[in-house]
Amino acid sequence: MEKRDSSLQSFDYLLILRGACAFAVVLRHYPFEFYTALGTSHLEWLLRPFGYIPVLVFFCLSGFLITQNFILGRYEPGSILGVWGYYRNRALRVLPLYYFSILACVLIYWPESFYRWDEVLALFGFVGAYKIDGGIIFNHVYWSLPVEVAFFVLAPVLFFSMRWLCLSLGVLGALLFIILAYFIYSAIVFWDIPYDDGFVMSRAIWNRLAHHDVIYNFEVFLLGGIAAFYVNGQSRRGTVRGQLFFKVSLASLILLMFARTGIVGDALFQKGKVDAFTLYLLLPLLGFWFLGFTMLYAKPQLIRVSRIGLLFRRALEALGHWSYGVYLFHMPILSIVEKFDILSGSAYQNSVMSFLALICVIAFSAMTYRLIEKPVMRFRMRSGHLVSSSA
């Protein structure tokens, strides 16, 4: 019997990516100012990436994993029973923790939430706003849930549309078709917005679209879905996995997006403006990046690691499992920590407070995963082939 190399461990990079995105959202929303205290303000774009990018990666992951579930036969989108099983599992995955977070926010923001009970009820139906007059009251991230749920509802129909595009145009042609169609859509939507300083428009209008327009955000879901057709439609063995140039290109592209949106984009945001890069290029570039990422890392891989590397991998994958809770609860928990007014004022004190809140978020998310998410998963219907990463 051949002895197995104990240093070989399986890495689920899609799960790790999901955890990294949740962590990036927290870094963006929390008042971490260690870069100021350490004199590294020029690296803020890397330490606190533009918050929209990790959310878009979430959307890409959802589009990829759900489309892959259809491709691999876990759900049959052409049958009533298959679609019912899909909707049932999606509801069990999304609703329990989301509804629990709403109830938690009602208690945290009591009594203000009591006087806006109609807005609280609207959140349960994914039709409510995430802000009220006078500031954020419920949860800063609730804008993304209606967008995700709209895609989940339409996913069986969109699957057939994406499959038809891939069969008719090929995967690359389907990608370019979606990018071109959305470029035209964006141009039509914003054609009458006054521009100045070149290609610059109102941040308020863009923010409304980016946070509330379902169609505008569907581009990245579709690009993630097309990536699933590519990854599961042909053998990838020996194509790009060992090519250093491909990996360097992927890293350079994500750094370009971080730098362009973090340095230039943040400066424009402070002036109430958005540039053409954010409006027209960010989504398609991210889609291309995600396609390349899945070409390399879509399936768990055996990699030789040390014990320290194994612990690091387990920590990252655990964060991936807890990512939904981290995403939903990081702002409410920060509000609780801030109410105690333990530390505030200097850049160093704000960073310590942020680390304290982050520890609480991770601990609470681990608890809700164990007590809410994981038990509910036992009731999910299982059929066909199972994919390696749960959506």
Report pLDDT digits (tens) over 89-118: 999 999 999 999 999 988 888 877 777 788
Q: Which one is predicted more confidently, 345 or 50? A: 50
Say what the pTM is. 0.88
Residue 242's pLDDT band, with cuts at 50, 70 and 90, is low
Residue bearing tokens 């109430």: 272
Bridge partner residues of 11 (DSSP): 301
Q: Which residue has the tokens 């690691």?
A: 305
Beta strand 301-304 with 273-275 is unpaired
- What is the pLDDT at residue 176? 93
Domain coordinates of the chain in residue numbers?
Answer: 8-377
Tokens of 172: 């690359």
- Write down the pLDDT at residue 71: 94
Give me the pLDDT at residue 385, please. 40
Q: Which of 42-51, 296-305, 309-318, 356-365 has the highest mean pLDDT?
A: 356-365
Give the distance, in angstroms, between the CA of residue 31 and the centroid of all CA atoms in the same chain: 21
Which pLDDT tens digit goes with each residue over 303-321?
776 777 778 888 888 999 9
| DSSP code per residue over 291-349 | HHHHHHHSS-EEEE--HHHHHHHHHHHHHHHTHHHHHHHHHHHHHHHHHHT-S-SSHHH
Please name the residues in contact with 207: beta carbons below 8 A apart, sequence gap of 6 or more: none
Which distant-in-sequence residues (6+ apart) come within 8 Å of 69 by Cβ? 75, 86, 387, 391
The more confidently predicted of residues 119 and 153 is 153
Return d(Cα 47, Cα 260) in angstroms, integer. Answer: 14
Q: How many CB atoms lie within 10 A of CB 28?
A: 18
Tokens of 66: 């759900």
